[in-house]
Amino acid sequence: MTTDYSQYAKLSPFELKDELIKLASGKANRMMLNAGRGNPNFLATLPRRAFFQLGLFAAAESELSFSYLPNGVGGLPKIEGIEGRFERFCADNRGSDGVLFLARAMSYVRDQIGLSASDFLHEMIEGILGCNYPVPPRMLRLSEKIVREYIVKEMIGGNVPTRSIDLFAVEGGTAAMAYIFHTLQQNGLIRRGDKVAIGKPVFTPYIEIPELEEYGLEQVSLDADPNMHWQYPDAELDKLKDPAVKMFFLVNPSNPPSVKMDERSLRRIADIVANERPDLMILTDDVYGTFADDFQSLFAICPANTILVYSFSKYFGATGWRLGVVATAKDNVMDGALAGLPDAERQSLDRRYQSIVPDVSALSFIDRLVADSRAVALNHTAGLSTPQQVQMVLFSLFALMDEADGYKAELKKLIRRRERALYRELGMPPQSDPNEVDYYTLLDLEPIARHLHGDAFAAYVVEKATAGDMLFRIADETGIVLLPGKGFGTHEPAGRVSLANLNEYEYAEIGRSLRRMADEFYEAFLQEKGGTPAA
C-alpha cells in the first residue's frame, strides 16, 4: 500500500521527526538511528563535578548558620569567614577533581577577573541552595560579569568593551526567542505587516514565529547559496538596504548547513549598517559559534544594532539545564527606537511599565525583556533560577580557564571524525570548507546522486524526491531518521544530519545504508530507462 505523506507537509521538522521515528522503529531486528535531532551525546563533566561539590559545601554552610538536626532545618549562609571555610573544604577534599576545579576557579575570579572572592562565594552558595529570589532579576550581579567574560571571549573578542554589554539570563535559546519577539511587538519595534529579513536556511522557529497571527510579519528571504559554500551572495545581503526591512534574523553558524559567515559577509553587513541602515535591528543566534574556528559574531562589528542570543545547550551538552543569555550593548538602536516612538505610544508604554519603575523612559529594552517575561506585574519574581545561573557560571569559568582550549579541540575532533565516517561510507569526498562547523551536515540529494552515478541519475532522483516522501522512504527502508532541509528554508531536496548525537560507527552505518539505498535507486533508474548510461 502506498502511503500519502502529503498530510505531513505543513508540520515543523521537529514535529515531523516523531512520524519518522515511528516509521523507522516499526521493523523488528533493526536498529533505529535517529540522526535528526541536535541533542549532543557528549557533555562537560568537570564543571558538573564542581557543581555537585559546591552543593555539598553550600549545605554545610547552611547548617553552620543555624540548624535543627536531625530534622534537616538549616539557615541562610553567612558571608563572614566564608573564604577561609572554603579553603579548608578544598584542602580536606583536594583529591576530588570537582573541588580542585573550584579552588582554581576561586583564584581565577579573584586574580584574573578582579572580583571579591568572598562576595563571589556567597553569591554562588546562596545561588546553588536556591534560597533567595534572583536579585537583580535580570541576572545575579557577579554571575553576569563572569558569563559576560565568557561571551566576549567566544563570540566578540576585543572589539566591544566588556563593560558596555548587558546580559539577561534565560531558560535557553528558545526562551530568548520567545521573549525577544514578544517584547519587540509589545513595544512597537515590530508591527503587523512589517518586513523582516530572515537568513536562510535557518532554525525553523525563526521562520514559523513571524508567520503566527499575533505577529503577521512579512518575510524577506536572504538565501545562502550552496554553490558558495552556504554564504550569502552580495545581492542577497543588499536586501537589507531596503528601509522597509525592520529587522534581520539569522543563525550564525547556520542551521542546518553549519557554516559560519565569512569575513566578506560580515564586512558587507557592517558597511550597510554603517552607511545606509543605522536603524536596522539584528537578531543573531550564535549557539554553534563555539564549535567554529576563529568565530566572530555580528555583535562584534555591529554591537549597537545587534541582539545576541547564546545557549549553553550544545557546547556543554546541557540541553536539559535550559541555560542561555541575551546580550545587548548598553548603547543600542532598540533603546533609540523606543525613545523615538510617537507620544501616544510612549504614554501607553508608560502605563504598561509604571508599576516597576518611576521613569519608564529610562527603562532599557533588555530590562523590558525581563519585565515582559513575567507579564510585567511579576517582574519582582523574574529571572532564571539561581542554581541554573550557578551552573552557567561554572560552565563559563571552565571555558575561560581552559587557555589551551583542550575541551573545544576534543569536541571538534569528535564531530569531524563522525562526519568523515559518514561521507566515507556514503562514497562522497569529505567537506573541506574552512568556515564549516560540522555540528550538522546537509545531505543534498542532487549533488550526491550526480557524484555517484552522473547527471541523468541526479535529475531522476530530484524528480522522484519532489513527491516529498524521500525521508519517509529512508526511514522505512533503512531505519534512519533525518530532518527535511526544506523545513529550514532550503530550496533543494535535502536531509539534515546531526553529527552530535550518535557514535562514529553509527554514522558509518548511516553512510553505508544510504549508499545501498542510492544504488537500489540507480538499479530502478536503469530499468526505467531501459539501459545503462555510457561510462
Q: pLDDT tens digit string along 17-65?
A: 677 777 778 776 667 888 888 899 999 999 999 999 999 999 999 998 8
Q: Are residues 84 and 152 in the same domain?
A: no
Q: What is the pLDDT of residue 9?
A: 55
Q: Are residues 468 and 450 in the same domain?
A: yes
Domain CATH code at residue 305: 3.40.640.10
The DSSP code for 232 is P
Q: Are residues 26 and 85 in the same domain?
A: no
Whether the Cβ atoms of residue 292 and residue 259 lie closer than 8 Å to each other: no
Q: Are residues 507 and 392 in the same domain?
A: no
Is 341 among the domain residues?
A: no
Confidence class for position 534, pLDDT limits 50, 70, 90:
very low
Question: How many domains does the chain divide into?
Answer: 3
Domain CATH code at residue 453: 3.90.1150.10
Cell of 80: 563572614
Q: What is the pLDDT of residue 467?
A: 47
Domain boundary residue among 341, 373, 399? 399
Across 452-466, average pLDDT: 86
Output the average pLDDT for the chain. 91
Core vs surface per residue 6-28: b (16+ CB within 10 A) or e = eebeeeebeebbebbbebbeeee
Confidence class for position 132, pLDDT limits 50, 70, 90:
very high
pLDDT tens, residue by residue, 300-310: 999 999 999 99
Q: Are residues 219 and 306 in the same domain?
A: yes
Whether the Cβ atoms of residue 9 and residue 468 lie closer than 8 Å to each other: yes
Q: Are residues 181 and 239 in the same domain?
A: yes
Whether the Cβ atoms of residue 44 and residue 321 lie closer than 8 Å to each other: no
pLDDT tens, residue by residue, 487-531: 676 767 778 899 999 999 999 999 998 998 889 889 989 988 876
Is 218 among the domain residues?
A: yes
Residue 443, classed as helix, strand or coil, is strand
Domain boundary residue among 127, 161, 196? 127
Q: What is the pLDDT of residue 535?
A: 43
* Residue 516 or 7, more confident: 516
Whether the Cβ atoms of residue 44 and residue 316 lie closer than 8 Å to each other: yes
* Residue 12 or 406, more confident: 406
As to burial, measured by CB atoms within 10 angstroms (0-12 exposed, 13-18 middle, 19+ buried), residue 417 is: middle
Is 37 among the domain residues?
A: no
pLDDT tens, residue by residue, 398-426: 999 999 999 999 999 999 999 999 999 99
Q: What is the pLDDT of residue 485?
A: 73
Q: What is the pTM of this model?
A: 0.93
Question: Whose grid coordinates read 533560577?
Answer: 385
Cα 292 to Cα 413: distance, rounded to the nearest angstrom: 12
Domain CATH code at residue 70: 1.10.20.110
Is 357 among the domain residues?
A: no
Is 249 among the domain residues?
A: yes
**H or E, element range at 455:** helix 455-465
Domain of residue 71: give its range: 43-127
Q: Are residues 192 and 272 in the same domain?
A: yes
pLDDT tens, residue by residue, 70-111: 778 899 999 999 999 999 999 999 989 999 999 999 999 999
Q: Are residues 176 and 148 in the same domain?
A: yes
Is 470 among the domain residues?
A: yes
Domain boundary residue among 63, 95, 127? 127
Q: Are residues 61 and 154 in the same domain?
A: no
Q: Are residues 297 and 412 in the same domain?
A: no
Residue 6 has pLDDT above 60, yes or no: no
Q: Are residues 20 and 79 in the same domain?
A: no
Is 62 among the domain residues?
A: yes
Is 51 among the domain residues?
A: yes
Q: Are residues 150 and 272 in the same domain?
A: yes
**H or E, element range at 82:** helix 82-92
pLDDT tens, residue by residue, 194-230: 999 999 999 888 888 998 898 999 999 999 999 999 9
